[in-house]
Structure 1
Amino acid sequence: MEQTVLAPVDWWVIAAMLGASLLVGFLVKDQASEGGVEGFFTAGRKMKWWLLGTSIVATTFASDTPLAITGWIARYGIAGNWFWWGGVLGSVAMTVFFARKWRTSGVVTDVEITELRYGGPAAATLRSVKAFINATLVNCVILGWVFAGMSKISESFMDWQWLLGSGLYGAMEAAYPEALLFGSFDNTLTIAVLVVVTLAYSALGGMRAVIITDLVQFALAMCMSVLLTVLAVSHLGGLEAMWDGLAAIYPSDGSATSLDGTPYLTHERVAAFVPDFGDGVVGSLGIPFSAFVLTLGVMWWTSGTVDGSGFTAQRLYTARDGGEAEKGALWYSFANFMLRSWPWAIAGVAALVIFPRPDVDLAARQFTECLHQEQACTLEMRECLENRYACSVPEYALLYRDEGQLSRDGLSAAAVAAEDEATVVVFREDRERSYPAMIRELLPAGLMGLMLASLMAAFMSTVSTHINWGASYLANDFYYRFINPRASEQHLTTVSRLATLVIALMAIVVASTVDNIGSMWELYGGMMAGLGLPHLMRWLWWRANAWTEISGMLTGFVLALANYIAGQNALLPDGQISIFPAFMASHAVHVICWISLVSALASVVATLVTAPVEAAQLRRFVARTRPMGFWREYAEGYAPERSFRESLWYFALGGSSIYAGMFGVGYLLRLQYAQGIGLLLLCSVALAWMVRGMGRIDRGVAAP
């Protein structure tokens, strides 16, 4: 079969990227073998701030992220990014209050901190339960989302039948279990190859290999995302021409509508930075104003990750010292929101002009007609349906087949009559696919392969983190802690490598069976809502104990699970979306916030009715981590490196700086130079003030 999308040079570029990742694993495998579990999972605790900070950014830069943001731009406008822009405050809080503490704690996993902080049988139980949940549920939910994103990217490019030959391809497809397919066999092969390579270098080189490959992979992914955006804007004649084209296709009067009369966003709503919350307003975030306020005011600090727990803390352990950990977290906070936001956002806007929504809607209708009426097909349309790799209709790359109830607005009366409505297939628009569609339309051979390699690298950086992170729980918090605490370093390294294999296989099996990632995220969000306040209390208040976290975790888990089961089994009354009454919760954000409130109350009550942690245990924790907050006589002369009040000031500076810088860049891209330059100056002043003040600790200068 003739190959029509990727040229041989593109395949070689992809192969080179995979080979380079494997080479890193081989080069550092001897170093990974030193130090047992700690050496394998903390990279010897020798990393500089720019390495560990970039590694955190690379992990959050998954292949699905630019696709998701492109979809948000079409549905909500640039303001749709508030779904993740709200995380600025949590990221800065982790940097200012907790980054240094994770490194000085000397732990290998975030759940190990429970025994250091509380001690006793309850803490040991808490440690094992949290390790199991993080290694299984959390990993599989996240990787399921990431795998789905990679499937959408590879679908239009990775023609394995051309590469392997029809005979070998057919035999492999017949032998592969259908239950483990990720959409199609081509997609499955792509994901399988990437996971195998990722597993190999993660198992060989441990955290050191993960961090080094993250650096290269992030640099490649970031450069290529910027290049694609520049080429897309240049294709339209520049930024001014892009905004003019947007205004022409999506006018202010709302006259641009789909075939069924649904209005598209106007160009003002696409370009707006502030969400619209009016009832029935096109382009609103789809959430009530109260839910948006709760996202910014409550959800960021009631999440269990507010203190950095999870893969973020895992990177902080690798720092050379507490100062490097803090600077790495700060670099991550700025890079994550200022550097990454705008290439994807502008690419999403450009995609609305390059592939106008009316044209894509029309193509969807025409291809659906073609499926059900042979005479409605053109030669080009037949070619697309028979071989997507040879398709010459650009809009086809933005369509997906929806098997289910037929919308009568989408077909002619003859087509409706031609098929059984219960089984008919209809083509629909998927704006997330416009990102890979631009790659296909705008990039020449060689650059196309490099762009795909960059997205595969982004995918691998996320997968490698979660495989290594999950394996650290199995090796450190199960095997070493409870099964074989006398194991040798060499033995523990072998166990760590086997654990990465177990986590990878578990993730593939479970992720391929997850049908609704959104509902799983809501379940996870509810469960984590029970840990936000307990995680803050353990660092800030001497009175917190193991039951503080156990009660919060159990309450959040029970409420979230009950809510999930009720929703999945239609056990709720009409108009009610959760186990909470409709007047209390009209959106998932409300549900999660109510779970966090009930769980917080349970945590406080449990804390006050149970015995405090032993004084000797508290003194050991304070001596090692020097936490800020309220520790009474247990500090015994140990003062925190920086006071809580001073940290609050740096928290305010950091949040202001990131938001100012983020919107400053945005205004420049909207060609509003005065606002853009002014906000960037504010960002620079606040950042300089923050960095200078926080650096006093490492310079040995006392606070004023």
Structure 2
Amino acid sequence: MHILAEMKLAGIDWTILISFFAVALGIGVVVSRQSGKSSGEFFLSGRHMPWWLLGFSMVATTFSTDTPNFVTDLVRTSGVWANWMWWAFIITGMLTVFIYAKLWRRSEVLTDVEFYELRYSGKSAAFLRGFRAIYLGVLFNIIIMASVSLAAIKIGETMLGWGPGQSVVVAMVVTVIFSSMGGFKGVILTDFLLFIIAMVGAFAAAYYAVSHPDIGGLDGLFNHEAVKQKLNLFPTQGDWNDTDTKNAVITLFVLPLAIQWWSVWYPGAEPGGGGYLAQRMLAAKNEKHAVGATLFFQVAHYAIRPWPWIIVALASLVVFPEISDIQKAFPDAKKVAHDSGYPAMLTFLPAGWLGLVLTSLVAAYMSTISTHLNWGSSYVVNDFWKRFIKPDASEKQLVLVGRVSTVVMMGLTALLALSMESALDNFKLITHIGAGTGLLFILRWFWWRINPASEIAAMLVSFAVAMWLRFGVEKGSFEVWQELCLIVGITTAAWLLTALFTKPSDTAKLRSFIEKTNPGGPGWKKIITEAEQAGTPIKPLHDAVNLPLGILNTVLGCVLVYGILLGSGLIMYGQTGMGGAFVAAAVLAGIGIIATWKKSVS
């Protein structure tokens, strides 16, 4: 059995790792002067970024260090099909591509929470903007970064023999220096390099995983008794027979496809767009670049990237069948769980490749954390400090506040990461806190009735019910899927009733919102009709979004991505006929998108 103490980084491994750090810091130094000119440069790089660079950045950001660990946890505990827990978010993503990307770019806000005072009116809109800036940009953001940092701790334990504190400190120092110097432009430029390194590392990890002597290539892996039962891309009839397995199927497969994709807020997969993805849409040259960047992200994130992680996860079932096997191999590790299977497999890499793969994981960590730091500090600066504390602050002062808040958030992240245990548990906590708010984020662009009170109700009720279920109810009283349904149902009812029985935003604000963004759809008919009857018709700056075409392309986009994702998996399994059919469907969907592209982005 492989023992932790026997694994050492060779000189070439350290050279690769240190060289990467030097390049990342060099980019931060080079762009620091330009990024420090104004808050617009520091957080959006002047709104002139091309689609391909933004697309690479979106993909690099969502490839966080904890993602392969999370996938490994799903595969080891339930099987490949359990990844529908996050694959279902493709539907959300495609809606963002073909409907919401252009709307965000039209809004011309600096952050997505500035949207609140573009869409709503009065003191409640201002309160909502300020509160969400701290709630999302600081508190929620720190939880997400701590979850990512937990993966860094597990990698440090298994690959380097470091303790949790040492792993956190080393992982964060370079990232926080780089993020506070280079701003958004530094993040974007470095993301391009990080994505390439991360993908090379992911494929190298998969190659050497199946080359392990206990596995014997892909055929040996897929025919191994420990792996066969984990290969299904969809739950089988037998999965419904056992109560525990049935609950897992409902939680990981049925619920994500039926409810989760439209009802749950999750960073990187927000219904209606938002967060750091919205930040990149807002930084695009124009609407076409915003749409192109988001489409590239959805295809690369869901169709291309998952299989290398899945292969390593399956291989870990052969080499480390149980958690106890991982613990025996790494006796000094403190936070061993199923998600430790991924970094455990990486310890078999040869010199050179070990350094490259370790660098790829460091790159993934830096990409995600630097994005979250820049995104979070943009909220602190633009939507809290400048809006409420010091409206007359100079651009130089705003950049300084952004850099200080970056350092503070990183320190708080380190403290929280040391108390966490599992990537899958963190995912469930985050989805529960955001459950029930998703439909509101989808509809607020298209229905005049939604107001600040409904947003506040959604946020507070969702958080309150999630905390009650986590701390106020005896553990095991509800299944995970029952908890999610309960949160979604109560929260959705709460904000819908609030929207219907409280005063909407001022008519003038609603008219100006239509004029600036022009989402279209029947939800604005009342406001448009009233304006015409008053003799002051609204004159939008843009054509209305073509919703039927957007929905059609959303369906085609889902077929495209699912066709590539599932087809490539089936072909690897040796089921070339069925796999070829999925790929053919993807090709036809791609042709359909190309045929309607000009109408989609005009």
Among residues 119, 143, 146, which one is paired with 1:144 in the alignment?
146
State the Cα distance separating 1:20 from its structure 2 match.
Answer: 0.8
Distance 1:68 1:363 in 2: 16
Letter in 1 for 2:218: M
1:164 maps to none
1:595 correspondence with 2:560: no
* CA deviation string 1:214-256 (max 9, x = no partner): 11111101111112212333456998x5334553x41xxxxxx
Task: Name the amino acid aligned to 1:357.
Answer: P
**Amino acid of the residue matched to residue 150 of structure 2?**
A
Note if 1:215 corresponds to 2:192: yes
- Correspondence for 1:391: none
Contact 1:397 1:434 in 2 (8 A): no
Give the secondary-structure state (helix, strand or coil) at the position aligned to 1:271.
coil
Residue type of the alignment partner of 1:437: A
| 1:656 positional shift | 1.5
Counterpart for residue 424 of structure 1:
none
**What whole-Å deviation, never above 9, does each CA across 1:87-132 have from its counterpart, x for those lacking one?**
1111112212211111111111111101110021010011111111
Distance 1:116 1:637 in 2: 17
Match of 1:540 among 431, 446, 453: 446
Q: Distance in 1 between matches of 2:331 and 2:157?
A: 11
Query: How far did residue 42 of structure 1 move?
Result: 0.8
Instruction: Identify the residue that residue 31 of structure 1 maps to in structure 2.
Output: 34
TM-fit CA distance, 1:522: 4.2
Contact 1:397–1:433 under 8 Å retained in 2: no
Query: Could you report, residue by residue, the CA deviation over 1:120-150 in whole angstroms, capped at 9, with x for unpaired residues?
Result: 1010011111111112331222122211111
Q: Which amino acid aligns with 1:11?
A: W
**Which residue of structure 2 lines up, in the alignment, with residue 650 of structure 1?**
553
Take 1:684 and 1:237, find their aligned partners in 2: how far apart are those partners?
37
CA displacement 1:429-474 (0-9 Å, x = unmatched): 8443333333222x22222111111111101111111111111111
For 1:288 and 1:338, the matched residues in 2 are separated by 22
Aligned to 1:661: 564
Greater percentage in helix: 2
Distance 1:42 1:566 in 2: 42
SS of the residue 1:444 aligns to: coil
Name the counterpart of 1:357: 321
Are the aligned partners of 2:203 and 2:308 in contact in 1 as well (CA < 8 Å)? yes
Counterpart CA distance in 2 for 1:455 and 1:244 is: 27
Q: What letter matches 1:24 in structure 2?
A: I
Deviation at 1:552, TM superposition (A): 1.6
Query: Which residue in 1 is equivalent to 2:105?
Result: 103
Which residue number in structure 1 is paired with residue 253 of structure 2? Answer: 292
Secondary structure of the 1:499 match is helix
What residue is the counterpart of 1:196 in the other structure? 173
1:576 to 460, 477, 493: 477
- Residue in 1 aligned with 2:584? 681
Partner of 1:392: none
1:472 and 1:444 map into 2 onto residues whose CA distance is 41
* Number of the residue aligned with 1:21: 24
1:9 aligns with 2:26: no
User: Structure 2 residue aligned with 1:604, among 496, 500, 507?
Assistant: 496
| Worse-matched range after superposition: 479-488 or 554-563 | 554-563
Work out whether 1:624 is the aligned partner of 2:525: no
Instruction: Please say if 1:344 is aligned against 2:236.
Output: no
Q: Which runs of 5+ in 2 are unaligned?
A: 529-537
Match of 2:203 among 204, 207, 226: 226
| Alignment CA distance shift 1:694-1:540 (3 Å) | farther
- Give the aligned partner of residue 130 of structure 1: 132
Higher mean alpha-carbon deviation, 17-26 vs 93-102, is at 93-102
Q: CA deviation at 1:519?
A: 5.7
What RMSD in Å do the two structures reach over aligned CA positions?
2.7
CA distance in 2, matches of 1:397, 1:650: 49
**In the alignment, does 2:350 pair up with 1:439?**
no
**Matches for 1:124-523 after TM superposition, within 5 Å:** 124-158=126-160, 185=163, 187-235=164-212, 241-244=217-220, 246-247=222-223, 249-250=224-225, 267-276=227-236, 278=239, 281=242, 284=245, 286-289=247-250, 292-304=253-265, 305-353=270-318, 355=319, 357=321, 396-397=329-330, 430-441=337-348, 443-514=349-420, 521-523=427-429
Which secondary structure does the structure 2 equivalent of 1:157 belong to? Answer: helix
Secondary structure at 1:270 match in 2: coil
For 1:57-76, list aligned pairs within 5 A. Answer: 57-76=59-78
In structure 2, what is the equivalent of residue 613 of structure 1?
505
1:549 aligned to 455, 463, 477, which one? 455
Partner of 1:44: 46
Task: Tell me: CA distance 1:488–1:349, structure 2 relative to 1, closer, same or farther (3 Å).
Answer: same
Q: How many residues align?
A: 582
Pick closer, same or farther for the CA change 1:434–1:531 going to 2, 3 Å.
closer
Conserved 8 A contact 1:439-1:448: yes
CA shift in 2, pair 1:229/1:525, >3 Å:
closer
CA deviations on 1:615-674 (whole Å, 9 max, x unpaired) are 221121112212132212645253644321221111111111111111111111112222
| Equivalence for 1:260 | none
| Equivalent position SS for 2:592 | helix
Q: Distance in 2 between matches of 1:522 and 1:231?
A: 31
SS of the aligned residue for 2:285 comes to coil
Alpha-carbon displacement from aligned partner over 1:461-510 (angstroms, at most 9, x marks no partner) = 11111111111111111110011111222221222212211221222223
8 Å CA contact 1:275, 1:285 repeated in 2: no
Q: 1:625-640 alignment to 2 at 5 Å? A: 625-629=517-521, 630-632=523-525, 634-635=527-528, 636-638=538-540, 640=543
- Please report how far the alpha carbon of residue 592 of structure 1 lies from its aligned counterpart in structure 2 after TM superposition: 2.0
Q: After the TM superposition, which of the residue ranges 606-615 and 115-124 deviates more from structure 2?
A: 606-615
The alpha carbon displacement at 1:338 in A equals: 0.8
Task: Work out whether residues 251 and 481 of structure 2, in 8 Å CA contact, stay in contact via their aligned partners in 1.
Answer: no
Contact 1:76 1:285 in 2 (8 A): no
- The one-letter code matched in structure 2 to 1:632 is K
Which amino acid is 2:198 matched to?
A: A
Structure with bigger gyration radius: 1
Q: Relative to structure 1, is the Cα distance of residues 527 and 229 closer, same or farther in structure 2, using a 3 angstrom cutoff?
A: closer
The 1:283–1:233 alpha-carbon spacing in structure 2 relative to 1, beyond 3 Å, is farther
Q: What is the CA distance between 1:689 and its match in structure 2?
A: 1.3
Give me the TM-score of the superposition, normalised by structure 1: 0.77
CA distance in 2, matches of 1:618, 1:198: 41
Q: Displacement, 1:193?
A: 2.3
Kept in 1, the 8 Å contact 2:13–2:353? The answer is: yes
**Residues 67 and 149 in structure 1, CA contact (< 8 A), matched pair in contact too:** yes
Query: Using a 3 Å threshold, how does the CA distance of structure 1 residues 564 and 70 change in structure 2: closer, same or farther?
Result: closer
Question: Normalising by the residue count of structure 2, what TM-score does the alignment of the two structures yield?
Answer: 0.90
Which stretch shows the higher mean deviation, 215-224 or 622-631? 622-631
Structure 2 contact 85–252 (Cα < 8 Å) conserved:
no
Secondary structure in structure 1 of the residue aligned to 2:229: helix
AA aligned to 2:458 is G
SS of residue in 2 equivalent to 1:631? helix
Task: Report the residue type matching 1:344 in the other structure.
Answer: W
